[in-house]
A and B are shown apart, each in its own frame.
Chain A
């Protein structure tokens, strides 16, 4: 079993829909990251969470430490949001990241 599990693996939605991507982990963490990877491969860090909730524009990330679960939400989705969204956790004691497999999101106009 992977230490970081993401769901769904693939998601296609219509423009304007509310999007939720889930991430569960099984290790002790110091932080959880949500990242966005565009087709060119470059990775952008969206959020780093250790508790609670963060919001940036149309993106919202939440984490429940007790349940070892995090969600990334996109409100009013747009075709430019189409990308792979990756959940990664920083394990306690070091800075290494354990990566989820990613969720490929396609937003259709």
Chain B
């Protein structure tokens, strides 16, 4: 069964809406979770590293005020796309893993901004 749960799987909303995506580790504690974004026909790109109890680490070029990450517990990280616009439409996926163990992946969230 899934060890990382990502929700929702698909979101369609109007421009200007803020969208929250959740990533939960189901049977292990994850001090670190990763958020990735995939544009059509392109590889997954790391957006940010989510650290439990501290600020996320963002990759160069990723707007931290646009993509808010909260990792308030050892099993939950959230990515909020604030005031989403059509260019934010993409596939977002999280990963997590126990320390020194393989990463597990959420099923991903397909975000479509109209």
Query: Which A residues lie at the B interface, using CB under 8 A?
Result: 31, 33, 35, 41-45, 48, 86, 88, 90, 95-97, 99-102
Residue from the list B34, B38, B91, B102 in contact with A96, Cβ < 8 A: B34
Q: Which residues of B contact A97 (CB under 8 A)?
A: 34, 44, 46, 95, 103
Q: How many angstroms from the CA of A96 to the CA of B96 in the assembled complex? A: 10
Residue from the list A41, A42, A101 in contact with B43, Cβ < 8 A: A101
Interface of B is mostly: strand
Q: Which residues of A contact B46 (CB under 8 A)?
A: 96-97
User: Cβ of B93 < 8 Å from any Cβ of A?
Assistant: yes
Q: How many angstroms from the CA of A97 to the CA of B46 in the assembled complex? A: 8
B102 and A86 contact, CB distance less than 8 A: no
Q: How many angstroms from the CA of A88 to the CA of B105 in the assembled complex? A: 13
Residue from the list A31, A42, A45, A100 in contact with B107, Cβ < 8 A: A42
Q: How many angstroms from the CA of A45 to the CA of B103 in the assembled complex? A: 8
Query: Which B residues lie at the A interface, using CB under 8 A?
Result: 32, 34, 36, 38, 42-46, 49, 91, 93, 95, 97, 102-105, 107-108, 110
Chain A: which residue is nearest B97 at the CB level? A95
Residue from the list B34, B42, B44, B105 in contact with A45, Cβ < 8 A: B105
A43 and B108 contact, CB distance less than 8 A: yes
Given A96-B49, A99-B43, A99-B45: A41 in contact with B108 (beta carbons within 8 A):
yes
A31 and B44 contact, CB distance less than 8 A: no
Q: How many angstroms from the CA of A8 to the CA of B85 in the assembled complex? A: 34
B45 and A41 contact, CB distance less than 8 A: no
Chain B: which residue is nearest A90 at the CB level? B103
Q: 28 A-B Cβ contacts within 8 A?
A: A31-B102, A33-B103, A41-B91, A41-B93, A41-B107, A43-B105, A43-B107, A43-B108, A45-B102, A45-B103, A45-B104, A48-B102, A86-B43, A86-B44, A95-B34, A95-B103, A96-B34, A96-B46, A97-B34, A97-B44, A97-B46, A97-B95, A97-B103, A99-B36, A99-B43, A99-B44, A99-B45, A102-B43
